[in-house]
Amino acid sequence: MSEELRQASDEELLRRAKEDPGAAGRIAAGELLGRYSERVYLYCFRMVRERERALDLAQDAMIDALRGLGRFEGRSRFSSWIFAVARNRCRTALRPRSLTRDEEIETDDLPGREADPESQWIDREGEDALDRLVTENLAPGEREAIWLRCVEGMPVDEITRVLELPNATGARGLLQTARRKLRAALERRRFERGEGGTDGR
């Protein structure tokens, strides 16, 4: 790998990778993706907390990125594009977490999506509706924690880390509070709509 390639910007490498279908372009693509392979892996590892599974996800994400390079128009920074690719891979693989039920046992290693009522609600109403619900009913720290947990699928201890929560219970305490408030908010909503009753939780 030449020093010139190592010092080239992401944008320059992307340009070379897209414009040159030969070996030079592919070497540029390799250098560009190599800059992000560690970050992609670490992101996946922190999401699933299991090395082999994280490697699978990271590999899939990197291959997605490689095959999508030709479609990436370069209107945004490459770092956020490849983040979006890795995030999509993780979100597809991770089971969404309940918006209202507390998690007594962490089961992040379960693959696939589970169609619980909240997931169905999110799918039906859309993330904007969820955003409004969360914003109207939760304090700022609780909003971030519940979103990271339930939509992004981030593990609880990782939320504690990224939000730099100092307290001993970390994100778990925030999530419990947030879920209690959301249960109450959804109950009020059902009552106002005349649906009445509780869901038995």
Partner 1 sequence: MDAEPFRIEELAEIAALPPDHPRRVALEASARGRALLVSYEAFARPGAPPPQAGVAQAKAQLDARIARELRLEPAAAGAAEHGPREPSARSRAPRASGWRWSWAGALRPAFAAVLVVALAGGLWLSTRHAGSPERIVRGHRVGEAAALVLLPPRPLDHGAIELRWQPVAGADHYEVEFFGPDLADLARVPCGAQAELRLLPGALPAGVRPGMSVLWQVTARRGNVQLAVSEVAPLRIP
Q: Is 169 in the site for partner 1 (CB under 8 A)?
A: no
Which residues, 6+ apart, have CB-to-CB distance to 134 below 8 Å?
143, 146, 147, 178, 182
Please identify which residue in 15, 18, 117, 163 interacts with partner 1, judged by CB under 8 A. 163
Which lies closer to partner 1 via its Cβ, residue 116 or residue 165?
A: 165
Please identify which residue in 7, 22, 166, 200 interacts with partner 1, judged by CB under 8 A. 22
- Of 153-161, 165-173, 179-187, 189-197, which segment contacts partner 1 by CB under 8 A? 153-161
Which residues, 6+ apart, have CB-to-CB distance to 69 below 8 Å?
14, 17, 18, 29, 32
- Of 59-67, 92-100, 101-109, 183-191, which segment contacts partner 1 by CB under 8 A? 59-67
Q: Is 54 in the site for partner 1 (CB under 8 A)?
A: yes
Which lies closer to partner 1 via its Cβ, residue 87 or residue 179?
A: 87
- Of 46-54, 97-105, 180-188, 190-198, which segment contacts partner 1 by CB under 8 A? 46-54
